[in-house]
Amino acid sequence: MESPKYHVFVCTSCRINGVQKGYCHSKNSVDIVQKFMELIDEFGLGSDVMVTNTGCFGICEKGPVVVVYPEATWYGNVTVDDVEEIVESHFEGGTVVERLKI
C-alpha cells in the first residue's frame, strides 16, 4: 500500500472503552467523518486521502476538530457543510481553508 498524500484525523470523542460521547460527538463529528468518506470517494481521492476518527485532542472549545497531515493543519469548529470546502480547497487545490484554521 502506498502512503496517502493526506491523512485526516477527526475527533469523534471516542473513549478507550469504545463509547462515543463528548463535545465533538455532540456536534455531529461522526457525520463529518462520513461526509469526508463520501466526498473522498466522489472526488476519486481514495488513494490520496485517508480518514481516521480519533479521541479527544484536548481543545473541546474549538470542536469539532479536524487535523490534516503531513502539514499538521488544524481546523476548528468544523461542520458537515465545511467538509466539501476542505476537500476541494485543501486536498484538490493544496490551499488551506484559512477561515477554519486554528
Question: What domain count does the chain have?
Answer: 1
Q: Say which CATH number the domain at 15 has.
A: 3.40.30.10
1 in any annotated domain: no
How confident is residue 19, by pLDDT bands cut at 50, 70 and 90? low
Q: Which percentage of the chain shows pLDDT scores above 90?
A: 78
In the chain, the amino acid numbered 30 is V
Q: Are strands 66-69 and 6-11 parallel, antiparallel or unpaired?
A: antiparallel
From CA 37, how far away is CA 99, in angstroms rounded? 22
Q: How far apart are the C-alpha atoms of 39 and 25, rounded to whole Å?
A: 20
What is the arithmetic mean of pLDDT over 31-59? Answer: 95
Answer yes or no: is pLDDT of 91 > 90: yes
With b for 16 or more beta-carbon neighbours within 10 A and e for fewer, the 70-82 pattern comes to: eeebbbbebebeb
Question: 18-27, 46-55, 56-65, 83-92: lowest mean pLDDT where?
Answer: 18-27
Can you give the residue range of the structural domain that contains 43? 6-100
pLDDT for 18: 64
The answer to whether residues 13 and 54 touch, using CB atoms and an 8 Å cutoff, is: no
pTM score of the predicted model: 0.91
